[in-house]
């Protein structure tokens, strides 16, 4: 279904996203507050309830893991990088992936997979279909259409559901090492809302909502630079199957 090099890159996206957390916050005991592009755009709030209850980095992970894994639905979007190749991800729906919309950058295009009622529907832009079919005319006919595919074909993109991504990020074996860290966490105001931010000396960061104790953003700088944002916890909109007139038989 997908070209081999694209499939390999997408299968690696889940593992790469898992390392984003560790690369950003697990490798340094440098106190938070290190300057970065994100930090320069935000203001520290020292007098707020969130600031007065700032946890250590280890305590932050102990809070954010169960809170995030308990979510029934949500939305994740952003980019991850591996071997210099950037992959975009956008996942919205239930944590178990049974009802979701997945949009992922594939080569020079983007593919979309809708999972609804045990069925999988794949669509894509012109760049995606041109690479997959090798025929610009065929690609043009497929843009705006959906092809019903099997579950195994859908999984060639990797197990890219919100729940699977979160579980990879918060593997117990990795979390146990983070619990011992005592690095500081700071409180910032971003777009009118307060967030807890843990950062290392490189400028990589993890943002957490103090109220819900769930992920807001993960930022990694350097060779494997990437950023993942999280929202709509327990409030993702239900995904509907495409209209029958837009479904084509391969």
Distance of CA 149 to the CA centre of its chain: 24
pLDDT over 50 at 5, yes or no: no
pLDDT over 50 at 1, yes or no: no
The pTM (predicted TM-score) of the whole model is 0.79
3-state SS, residue 147: strand
Cα(10)–Cα(208) distance, integer angstroms: 26
Cα(104)–Cα(114) distance, integer angstroms: 12
**Residues 84-96 pLDDT 10s:** 778 899 999 999 9
The residue with greater pLDDT, 179 or 60, is 60
CA neighbor of 60 nearest in space, from 50, 70, 46, 73: 50
Q: Which of 130-139, 161-170, 177-186, 241-250 has the lowest mean pLDDT?
A: 177-186
Extents of the domains making up the chain: 4-248
pLDDT over 60 at 28, yes or no: no
Domain 4-248 carries which CATH code?
2.50.20
CB of 186 within 8 A of CB of 81?
no
Cα(70)–Cα(25) distance, integer angstroms: 22
The residue with greater pLDDT, 9 or 127, is 127
């Amino acid at each position: 279904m997908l070209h081999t090099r694209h499939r390999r890159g997408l299968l690696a996206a889940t593992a790469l996203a898992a390392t984003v957390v560790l690369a950003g916050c697990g490798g340094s005991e440098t106190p938070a507050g290190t300057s970065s592009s994100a930090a320069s755009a935000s203001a520290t709030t020292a007098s707020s309830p969130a600031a007065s209850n700032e946890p250590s980095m280890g305590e932050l992970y102990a809070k954010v893991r169960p809170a995030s894994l308990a979510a029934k639905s949500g939305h994740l979007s952003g980019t991850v990088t591996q071997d210099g190749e950037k992959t975009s991800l956008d996942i919205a729906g239930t944590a178990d992936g049974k009802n979701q919309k997945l949009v992922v950058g594939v080569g020079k295009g983007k593919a979309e997979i809708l999972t609804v009622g045990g069925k999988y529907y794949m669509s894509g832009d012109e760049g995606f279909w041109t690479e997959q079919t090798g025929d610009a005319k065929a690609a043009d006919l497929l843009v705006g259409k959906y092809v019903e595919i099997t579950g195994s074909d859908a999984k060639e993109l990797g197990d890219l559901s919100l729940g699977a991504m979160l579980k990879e990020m918060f593997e117990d074996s990795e979390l146990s090492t983070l619990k011992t860290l005592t690095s500081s966490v700071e409180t910032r105001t971003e777009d009118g809302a307060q967030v807890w931010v843990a950062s290392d000396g490189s400028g990589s960061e993890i943002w957490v909502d103090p109220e819900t104790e769930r992920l807001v953003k993960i930022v990694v700088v350097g060779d494997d630079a990437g950023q993942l944002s999280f929202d709509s916890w327990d409030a993702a909109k239900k995904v509907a199957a495409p209209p029958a007139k837009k479904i084509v038989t391969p």
